[in-house]
Homo-oligomer: A and B are copies of this chain.
Amino acid sequence: MSKSIKLAILGLGTVGTGVINLISDNLDELKRRSGRDIVITEVGTRRQRDDIDPNIMQNSDLMATAASDNVDIVIEVIGGTTLAKDVIMHAIKHGKHVVTANKALLAEHGNEIFAFAEANNVHVAYEAAVAGGIPIIKVMREALAANKIEWLAGIINGTGNFIMTEMRDKGRPFADVLSEAQALGYAEADPTFDVEGIDAAHKLALLASIAFGIPLQFDKVYCEGITGITLQDVNYAEELGYRIKHLGFAVRRDIQGDGQGNNDAAGIELRVHPTLIPQNALLANVNGVKNAVLVNSHPLGQTLYCGDGAGAGATASAVMADVMDLVRVLGSKDSNNESTNGHHVPHLAFIPEQLSNTPILRAEQMITGYYLRVHAHDNPGVLADITRILSDAGINIDAILQKPAHKLGQVPVIILTLPVVESQMNLAIEKIEKLETITDKVVRIRLDELA
C-alpha cells in the first residue's frame, strides 16, 4: 500500500466526532477503495478529550495543527466565519488541502478563499457545505458538467422543511412546530438563520455559482422566511392541488419581462421563499428534515437528489467523500509534469478566468406565479374588481377559489396566477388594496409549477 494519508480535524463537535467514527467504522472500505491507509494524526480542540484514540495528537493550538508537517489534509468543522477563516487561510498558505462544511464562511468569503487556494496550488473541498450528505456539489460540478443548467430548486434547510411538513400533516400552527423543532434539536435557540432563510441563502449562493459559473454573491440573494405562513394558506394550497415548501431557486433568465418591453432583463434570479408547488411533484413529497435539490438542465432534463441534509453521519459522509477525492488524486502531476496537487475540477465548476459577470436580478425583476389571498366584504362586485385589476396589469389567472363567508362576514378569495414580473404584481396588489371592499392586506406567496 502506498504512503498513508494524514488528516487533521479542526473542531470536535458533532461533525468532527462523526468523521472520527466514520473512519473507525469504515476503515476497511476506505482502504479497499483508495488503496491507501488513512490516518487521523492530529485534532485541533481547545478542550482535551479523553475519549479519543491516544495515537491522535490533541492540539489546542489550531493554527499549529493547520500548518503541521504531519498533516496532508485539514478538515475544518469549527463553524463560524472568524477563527474558521483564519485556520483555513493558514492551512492553504502551508500547502494543505482543506475540506470544510462551512457554508456561511464560503458563501461570504469563498471568492477570496478559492483564489488563495488556486494561488497556492491546493484545493478547498466543500461537499458537506450544501445539503449535507446529498452529493449535490459533485453532481453539479462533475456529473452535469456537459449540461447547460437552466434552473434549480432546492429544499436546502431541514428545519424549515420539518416545520412546513408538520404544519401540513398535523394541522399545527407555525409557532407550535418551531418550539418542537427546538426541543428536538433541529432548530437553534435563535432560529433566525433557519426560518428566515439565511442558511438556505448561503447554500443557494454556492449552488448558483457552480450552476452558472458566476462569482459567489450571497449579498444579492433575495430572501423571504416562513414565519408568516399560516395554516389557512397551507390548507387552501392543498385544496388547490399544491403544497407550500420553503425553497431556494437559482434561475437563468435569458429573456425576461412582459413581452412588451417592460422589465426586460437578462440575468439570474437568486431567491429563497415559501413556494406553492404541485402536490404530486416528488419535491413536494420530500418530508421532515430531508433535503432535496431538483436541477433542470439541457439536454438532461430534470434530475432530483434527495437525502439527509444534516446530522453527524450525513455530514461526515460528505466530508470523507471530499477526502477520498483528494486521496485518489493527491500528488498527481499535470501534463507539463508539474505538480497540480490534485484536483482539476475548478472550485466553482468553471475555470476561474471563465466566471461571468451575468447580473443578478433585483426582486422587482423576478418572474414567478403567485398565490393571492384577498379578504373582502361579501360584495357581489368584488371579484369583478379584482380580476379587472389583474387583467389590466396583464396578469393571467390560473385558478380562483372563493370560500363561503366566515363568521366575521368576510370572504377570502384565493387566486392563483401564471408567472408575472414582480413589479407588475406589486402595482396590481397596491390597486387591489385600495378597493373599498377589501378589508385587509393581500397575502401573497409565490408559486412554481416546476415545469
Contacts and interface: CB of A to CB of B under 8 A. Distances in A.
Contact of A33 (B213, B313, B333): B213
Copies of this chain per assembly: 2
A176 interface: no
A365 interface: no
A146 B300 contact: no
Interface stretch (A314-322, A393-401, A410-418): A314-322
Contacts of A31: 354
Given A213-B32, A298-B25, A349-B33, A321 B144 contact: yes
A30 interface: yes
A22 B133 contact: no
A26 interface: yes
A305 B308 contact: no
B133 A324 contact: no
B335 A334 contact: no
Interface in A46-95: none
Contacts of A219: none
A236 interface: no
Interface string A332-362: 1111010010001110011100101000000
Nearest to A351: B35
Contacts of A330: 335
Nearest to A312: B299
A322 to B, nearest CB: 9
Given A33-B145, A333-B334, A300 B313 contact: yes
Contacts of A346: 33
A14 B32 CA distance: 38
Given A135-B303, A146-B324, 11 more contacts: A22-B146, A22-B299, A26-B298, A33-B145, A34-B351, A135-B143, A142-B324, A145-B321, A282-B285, A299-B313, A333-B337
A306 interface: yes
A304 B303 contact: no
A307 interface: yes
Nearest to A26: B148
B333 A314 contact: no
A411 B134 CA distance: 47
A437 interface: no
A184 B346 CA distance: 41
Nearest to A316: B299
A143 B33 contact: no
Nearest to A322: B146
A412 B75 CA distance: 60
Q: Which 9 A-B pairs have the closest CB atoms?
A: A299-B313, A135-B143, A146-B320, A333-B333, A331-B335, A303-B307, A300-B317, A32-B354, A145-B324
A325 interface: yes
